Amino acid sequence: MSSPTASPASLAASVRSVSVEKYAGGAVVPLADRVPVEEPLEIKLAFDRGALRTVRSVAVTMRTPGHDLELATGFLTTEGILHSRDEIADMSQPAANVVRIDLAAGAAPDLRGLERNFYTTSSCGVCGKASLAAVRTVAKSPLPAGRPRLSAALVPELPERLRAAQPLFEHTGGLHAAGLFDASGRLLVAREDVGRHNAVDKLVGARLLAGTLP
């Protein structure tokens, strides 16, 4: 299997070198190691409320930097706030750890279901939910009956195919990944993050921004 590669820019943002000590053969040996970066990301949503433009901070999540606009878009999609690319008028990253999503004029997001404590860790996708009812979601695009159909022999091969598309894991050995495959087993999109739910949100955001969701 060939090793996946990452650009120098993505490595600089997502991977950090640290000094560690390894105990082996009765001796302590100093080593340099690479670990994934985990930093907070604040997601802000701008929308019209009457004649005023309102900007609201909807969440702060711990994530691995990289694909931040996709992460914010995917988060708002999986929370039921966004439904299509047309609802987004503008996207920006005014600071390294801040993303702002501006909704199109006239869009009136229903934020009642987004009852979070405005902070989630990378290890938990539902930690900030205010109630059990808020955890339940309704599929916006239910799958048609009997589809997709996959070969039983194909399913065990998918993890290895995803692993081949994980450059940051190749450097650190400590990142989750989410991959989207078609029914033939072709990998369409792969994203990495210290948080499993973040990796999924990055993937969902990428597809929504490309206009290919569902």
| Residue (of 93, 91, 58) closest to 75 by Cα position | 58
Please state, in angstroms and rounded to a whole number, the distance separating the CA atoms of residues 181 and 190: 9
Task: State the chain's mean pLDDT as an integer.
Answer: 86
pLDDT at 98: 97
State the pLDDT at residue 2: 56
How confident is the model over 116-129, as a mean pLDDT? 54
CA separation for the pair 38, 41 (Å, rounded): 10
pLDDT band of residue 114 (cuts 50, 70, 90) is: low
Active-site annotation holder among 124, 150, 158, 187: 124
pLDDT at 31: 93
| pTM of the predicted structure, to 2 decimals | 0.83
Amino acid at 112: R
Which residues are paired to 20 by β-bridges? Answer: 31
For 95-132, letters b (16+ CB in 10 Å) and e give eeebbbbbbeeebebeeebbebeeebebeebeebbeee
Please confirm, yes or no, whether 124 is among the known catalytic residues: yes
pLDDT tens-digit readout, 59-111: 999 999 999 999 999 999 988 889 899 999 999 999 989 999 999 998 878 77
pLDDT at 210: 95
Residues with Cβ < 8 Å from 66, sequence gap 6 or more? 10, 13, 14, 168, 192, 193
Task: Give the residue with greater pLDDT, 146 vs 201.
Answer: 201
Q: Which position has the higher pLDDT, 199 or 135?
A: 199
Exposed e or buried b per residue across 25-64, where buried means at least 16 C-beta atoms within 10 angstroms of its C-beta: eeeeeeeeeebbbbeebbbbbebeeeeeeeeeebbbbbbb
Quote the percentage of the chain above a pLDDT of 70: 84
More confident position, 174 or 45: 45
- Classify the phi-psi angles of 173: left when phi > 0, otherwise alpha if psi is within -120 to 50, otherwise beta: left
Instruction: Check if the beta carbon of residue 41 is closer than 8 Å to that of residue 64.
Output: no
